[in-house]
Amino acid sequence: MITTLLVANRGEIARRIFRTARQMGLATVAVYSDADDGALHVLEADQAVRLGPAPARDSYLKVEAVLEAARASGADAIHPGYGFLSENADFAEAVVAAGLTWVGPPPAAIRAMGLKDAAKALMTAAGVPVTPGYHGENQDPAHLAREAAAIGYPVLIKAVAGGGGKGMRKVERASDFAEALGSAKREAAAAFGDDRVLLETYVTRPRHIEVQVFGDAHGQVVHLFERDCSLQRRHQKVIEEAPAPGMSPEVREAVCAAAVRAAQAVDYVGAGTVEFIADASEGLRADRIWFMEMNTRLQVEHPVTEAVTGQDLVEWQLRVAAGEPLPLRQDQITLSGWAMEARLYAENPAAGFLPSIGDLEHFVLPDTVRVDTGVEAGGTVSPHYDPMIAKLIAHGPTREAAARRLGKACGEVQVWPVRTNAGFLARCLGEPDFLRGEVDTGFIPARQEALAQAPDPSPAVLSAAAQGLLSQAQASSVEPGGPWKALTGFRLNAAPAATLRLYRDGAPIAAPLAAGPLSADVLLDASGAIIVFEAGEAYAFSGVAPAAVAGEGPAGDGVVIAPMPGKVVAVAVAQGDAVVRGQTLVTLEAMKMEHALTAAFDGVVEALSVSAGDQVSEGVVLARLTPSA
């Protein structure tokens, strides 16, 4: 029996686990870092125990601190959530050794599947098809380069201990291999403490298919069908769905049976996901789907499986961990309708998807779909953790119905001044090829420029901004003449049309002042800005012409500025070097990912002010370029 559950995690997954625990009558214990003092998961738990300072290595990744929190709170079980210590076999062993119930698979299963090279060998022995590639022990860069050449470009470099796209690089040409290998190894070492990699053939039209499996301590293993997670950016999932589009009953049976064999091969207990890569160049075929890896934990995208099966996977986890048999037999698990999940990130798609951090002064999420989040208005997006701030999940009778419902919900997101990818998500979900089910992992990269850029403000947005400006002027007891009133025009046989002059990104815009109620949502920011929300985007306007600001110019003027706080992990150039447009100059590590800062034009490195290992603040000048003569 479990009576008191400690969740060794934070944010939305901690809240989601607590929700089921409360329904089952369990007491709940939260843990937190200094950055999360007062966070929602802390406030909602029955007890909360501080782990340490904000960096994860000093708090959420400290095994002894988590165990001490369990002892201090009287918890008799620990659920790891996902990320952090969730796939750490040493942690699982320590939990069991402390006499606590571990809500996860046996440590031996975690170890067996934790290293991708060993897991592939194990799967081959179990009759599970694996992706062709190099999975050997020799990590010498020259040897890896030779293996890559033997496989044939393009190849995929993957961290042996990796996950979540970290330590993964696609390499198109032999000349790019050394740089990509170095970057992948650095990222893998930072994320997992292990810089070893393997190589795989790069499938030209890959689909990411994964199967939810569940085992119990009585030898039973079942699947809860498949999910498609092909919509990805930089190997990180953006939109997931269940079931997979284009999946025939015959191929579904073959893939799900392979996933069950994979779980049985390691005597799996609890929730797990077996991930496959499919060559979709000829549709989904059983002989063109290969094992990639197994995630020995609950997945971020588990809500879509819950939606189409009607099952609470966290409840299954807790019951299995308590020694109960699986709640259902395989023939009792059925599919109903279609479900999709969109990951809402604090990032700016128009600025190369750079993470956006800061206070959530305005934070409104839709109430028409399931929303899992760990933050609220007035909270803060910290640079210390993953930038995902919410998950939006929609269910419908058909795939198109689920997509349209989720797209509409993404369009209703309102966040300011932190930027999000809500508009980008809405555009992805409304893209005609996506609605037809023509998806693969190259879907977003092939359309990224168009999907990432917000459309110009619509007439409704401009009109709402003008009305917002008028309201602002009236609230300030200022006559809307002077600097605000741009002109009053007319045409024969028509009512006069009033416009106000607004400024967006420093450029003047004539905005029509329409009569009647606002047709878009407007926020009058404390700084004086007028923010209009439409289709998931936040459009910012000012009623006053921007003053010239002294100081550094934008990156287009040759100044390379740190877009966020972070650590400089690599400097690829030296002062005096000639560089070309798009060439990587400095690599910054922030929010668990590496971000390459590149040259905006062909030129020469005039000045370089950082070295590898430096910690930098947002806005710090890293380098300066001068254009080529």
Place of tokens 């686990």: 17
CA distance 541 to 452: 20
Write the DSSP symbol of residue 367.
S
- Supply the DSSP string of 445-512, one letter for each residue: HHHHHHHHSPPPPPHHHHHHHHHHHHHHHHHTT--S-TTTEEEEE--TTS--EEEEEEEETTEEEEEE
Take residue 140 and report the two structure tokens written for it: 């010498």
CA distance 577 to 558: 14
CA distance 503 to 490: 23
Place of tokens 């993957």: 158
Distances, alpha carbon 590 to alpha carbons 57, 148, 370, 386, 518, in Å: 14, 29, 29, 9, 39
CB 557 within 8 A of CB 615: no
Q: What are phi and psi of 401, to 5 degrees?
A: -65, -40
> Which residues does 265 contact at the CB level (< 8 Å), separation at least 6?
122, 123, 125, 126, 128
For CA atoms 344, 349, 353, 354, give the dihedral sign.
Answer: negative
Catalytic residue, chosen from 169, 297, 343, 405, is: 297
Cα angle for residues 105, 51, 319 (degrees, 5° grid): 30
Give bridge partners of residue 373 from the DSSP assignment.
390
CA distance 596 to 381: 22
CA distance 133 to 149: 11
CA distance 248 to 95: 42
297 is catalytic: yes
Of 206, 227, 207, 224, nearest in space to 215 by CA:
224
Take residue 295 and report the two structure tokens written for it: 């995630």
Catalytic residues: 297
